[in-house]
Amino acid sequence: MITFFICVGVLIVGYYSYGLICERIFGIDRNRPTPAMEMADGVDYVPLPRWKSFLIQFLNIAGLGPIFGAVAGAMWGPVAFLWIVLGTLIAGGVHDYFSGMLSLRNQGKSFTEITGKYLGRPLMQVMRVLTLVLLIMVGTVFFVGPAQILAGLSGTGWMSVTVWSIIILCYYLLSTILPIDKVIGRFYPIFGAVFLTMTVALWVAMVYGGLPVPELSISTLGINQHIHPEKFPAFPMLFITIACGAVSGFHATQSPLIARCLQHEGQGRSVFYGTMVTEGVVAMIWAAVSMSFFGGIRELNVFMDERSGNAAMAVNEICTGLLGRLGGILAVIGVVVAPVTSGDTAFRSARLLLADIFNLGQRALKNRLLLAVPMFCLAYGISLMDFGVIWRYFAWTNQTLATVVLWTVTAYLINAGKNYWIALIPALFMTNVVVSYILIAPEGLSLPHGFSYSCGIAVGVGLLLYTFWYIYRKGKYVVSVDNR
């Protein structure tokens, strides 16, 4: 368990060090009016206190990803710990902080519009489609998953997955069209307390139960412990599987919601970078519990393989096994709350994105219904597909979006004369990941691994050369971290 505690410690130290570096590079101005103060409309632009903004942002991004993704990622072994820590601090934290702050500086606009500003209108149109698809898929995944868990818990025939799906969708509709402080701002603090209580309870049970959490070492670092290592190589599969809890494009779709609620720019580091670090800790706990609860990594792999990779079954088994029936119910409720509080804001973000695209004001309720109702009909249709297929495509779309966001942040930093390396390095890495994945994966092209890796490297090198050419053309050479 030494590796686990070291990793959690690094995450906490990283918030106070690397997070501060991000803040200094961006160059905050505490006296600059925020969209919440200048554009308050009582619906989406509503000033909220820091603690409430933190909880809303955390619950927005902490859906099934840091739970289901960490459980599935644990199948590769302790190398998952390394990705969670490095991904959170160097990629995810940078991604979340700058996407949130750029939205804050641009009237709380969706990040698709910000992409158009820095990477051009053609890519903005691509981002609009990609983001809208991702948001609807997230909303779908995050009501199907909880519906499956609740149907299993209810134990009654009439409370089926379909019935629970309809109940959750009705809640989603209300949270999508009502002012943000009426449902989300009112209930999220309660949901947040339940979710964090569940996470802490599992951590305490793991520590005091003496579960044998595997240690990360040079020998385990080079071993793929997945039950199907040939079909699922650690690179790039692990980096797609653990998205939320490391780096996730979905977070950039949620940041504008809270960028419209912050009272000053000084709140950005805790609300954006801080929630990413908190999610990283959640992913660490679930990865560690998953590797140890079933008796080891091999046993986890057997359990997951026999159940077609259904992480919901593993979550239910872990919660009831570690915390007993009553504690297990509380824990499962927390697992249900997490995705529900991401699904509702996914649909809300999709509504705001469509409003930006069609330039349709959202003060009138009829305008909100006009955009929301067709989305829910489409989401219900998608939910009838196989959940495993939806999840895999969601994961790749999610990481592709994160890659584009990191390139957008890189372009912003170059044009602003700031240190662009902080975004360029993770952008290059994620480019290699998403290109390699779609070429290797069964749901992709299923091409040979060597060829796929070569293509990923080639695309990354090409974009790096273009970046250097762009910098040369602009005459910008930035090396100082404190350059503002």
Average the pLDDT over each of 45-54, 245-254, 375-384 and give the range with the smallest value. Answer: 375-384
Using the predicted structure, report yes or no on whether residue 184 has a pLDDT greater than 80: no
Q: How far apart are the first and last CA of the chain?
A: 41
Higher pLDDT, 136 or 333: 136
Which amino acid is located at 336 in the chain?
A: V
Q: What share of the chain is helix, strand, coil (3-state, %, to 5)?
A: 75, 0, 25
- Give yes or no for a contact between 282 and 66, defined as CB atoms under 8 angstroms apart: yes
Using the predicted structure, report yes or no on whether residue 482 has a pLDDT greater than 60: no
Using the predicted structure, report yes or no on whether residue 133 has a pLDDT greater than 50: yes
The CATH topology of domain 2-402 is: Amino acid/polyamine transporter I (1.20.1740)
At 24, is the pLDDT very low, low, confident or very high (cuts 50, 70, 90)?
A: very high
Please name the residue ranges forming H helices in 260-310. 268, 274-293, 297-306
Using the predicted structure, report yes or no on whether residue 479 has a pLDDT greater than 60: no
Average the pLDDT over each of 27-41, 190-204, 331-345 and give the range with the smallest value. Answer: 331-345
Which residue in 344, 341, 349 sits closest to 190, CA to CA?
341
Q: According to the model, what pLDDT value does residue 180 have?
A: 65
Across the range 61-65, mean pLDDT stands at 73
Could you identify the residue written with the tokens 């959490």?
Answer: 213
At 66, is the pLDDT very low, low, confident or very high (cuts 50, 70, 90)?
A: confident
Across the range 189-193, mean pLDDT stands at 72
Q: According to the model, what pLDDT value does residue 480 have?
A: 43
Q: According to the model, what pLDDT value does residue 341 have?
A: 72
Average the pLDDT over each of 153-157, 168-172, 215-219, 291-295 and give the range with the smallest value. Answer: 153-157
Q: According to the model, what pLDDT value does residue 385 have?
A: 67
Q: According to the model, what pLDDT value does residue 177 have?
A: 76
Using the predicted structure, report yes or no on whether residue 356 has a pLDDT greater than 70: yes
Choose the most confident range, by mean pLDDT, from 63-67, 221-225, 246-250, 364-368: 246-250
Please give the Cα distance from 424 to 411 (Å, whole number): 9
Tell me what the pLDDT averaged over the chain comes to.
85
**Prediction pTM value:** 0.85
* Chain segment 218-255, per-residue pLDDT in tens: 877 878 899 988 888 999 999 998 988 899 988 998 88
Neighbour count for residue 162 (Cβ, 10 Å): 13
Using the predicted structure, report yes or no on whether residue 386 has a pLDDT greater than 80: no
- Give yes or no for a contact between 318 and 290, defined as CB atoms under 8 angstroms apart: yes
Across the range 129-155, mean pLDDT stands at 76
Across the range 165-172, mean pLDDT stands at 81
Q: According to the model, what pLDDT value does residue 155 have?
A: 59
* Chain segment 450-471, per-residue pLDDT in tens: 999 999 999 999 999 999 998 8
Tell me the CA distances in angstroms from 316 to 91, 301, 322, 367, one per residue in order: 30, 16, 10, 40
Across the range 67-82, mean pLDDT stands at 92
- Give yes or no for a contact between 252 and 405, defined as CB atoms under 8 angstroms apart: yes
Cis peptide before 47 (omega within 30 of 0): no
Percent of the chain with pLDDT over 70: 91
Please give the Cα distance from 123 to 136 (Å, whole number): 20
Please give the Cα distance from 435 to 440 (Å, whole number): 9
Across the range 439-448, mean pLDDT stands at 85
Using the predicted structure, report yes or no on whether residue 353 has a pLDDT greater than 60: yes
Q: According to the model, what pLDDT value does residue 183 have?
A: 67
